[in-house]
């Protein structure tokens, strides 16, 4: 009994949803059935995405140690590096917060700031795993326009951010050099 109560406490939101569904079903059988049908449709759409996500995470975990990925994240300013950022961001599912630690590691391996910004922005806004939901809810035409516009804006923001960061770093370096020269003169 104690284990049952602990399970309910750990899954309070799910428990509340099930109880609410049962109460709605008791008072209005049609609405209760609608909730059940929507739940089953959501499960039907979600299970393939979950399988894809787990496979992708396994691939990423193994792939990060491979030579091909190491070569892909070298200090390369070309289209290959930018495409790496887009593809990686598109394929990764889940919350973005692990992406910041990953970005730090990638920058330590020599990846450009613009590629990190593209990867994080794509990770946050364009997810292949959510594409079926987006098409179902927004429609194909709106989804295509959103993806194209978002992809272009992400690229422009990445270029702008990289330029601003370089400008600030140059100013900082000049200031530090000036301070060092003044110390030597004193």
Question: Which SS3 state, helix, strand or coil, does residue 149 take?
Answer: helix
pLDDT at 76 over 60: no
Return left, alpha or beta for 139; rule: phi > 0 is left, psi -120 to 50 is alpha, else beta. left
Q: Per-residue pLDDT tens for 115-128?
A: 999 999 999 999 88
Cα angle, residue 107 at apex, residues 103 and 112 outer, rounded to 5°: 105
CA distance 61 to 115: 20
CA distance 140 to 159: 29
pLDDT for 14 equals 84
Q: Do 109 and 64 contact (CB within 8 A), yes or no?
A: no
**Which residue has 């049908």 as its token pair?**
37
Which DSSP category does 109 fall into? T
Q: How many CB atoms lie within 10 A of CB 56?
A: 17
**Which residue has 């050099």 as its token pair?**
177
Q: Per-residue pLDDT tens for 59-71?
A: 665 665 656 655 6
Q: Do 159 and 114 contact (CB within 8 A), yes or no?
A: yes
pLDDT at 91 over 80: yes
CA distance 113 to 159: 9
Q: Do 116 and 106 contact (CB within 8 A), yes or no?
A: yes
pTM: 0.59
């Amino acid at each position: 009994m104690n284990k049952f109560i602990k399970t309910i406490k750990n899954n309070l939101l799910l428990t509340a949803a099930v109880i609410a569904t049962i109460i709605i079903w008791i008072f209005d059988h049609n609405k209760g059935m609608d909730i059940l049908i929507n739940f089953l449709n959501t499960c039907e759409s979600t299970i393939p995405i979950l399988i894809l996500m787990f496979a992708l995470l396994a691939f990423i975990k193994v792939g990060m140690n491979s030579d091909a990925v190491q070569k892909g994240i070298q200090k390369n300013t070309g289209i290959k590096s930018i495409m790496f950022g887009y593809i990686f961001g598109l394929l990764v599912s889940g919350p973005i917060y692990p992406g910041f630690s990953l970005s730090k590691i990638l920058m330590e391996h020599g990846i450009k700031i613009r590629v990190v910004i593209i990867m994080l922005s794509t990770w946050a806004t364009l997810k292949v795993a959510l594409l079926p939901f987006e098409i179902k809810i927004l429609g194909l035409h709106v989804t295509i326009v959103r993806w194209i516009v978002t992809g272009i804006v992400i690229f422009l923001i990445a270029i702008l951010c990289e330029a601003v960061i370089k400008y600030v770093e140059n100013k900082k370096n000049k200031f530090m050099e000036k301070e060092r020269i003044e110390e030597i003169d004193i």
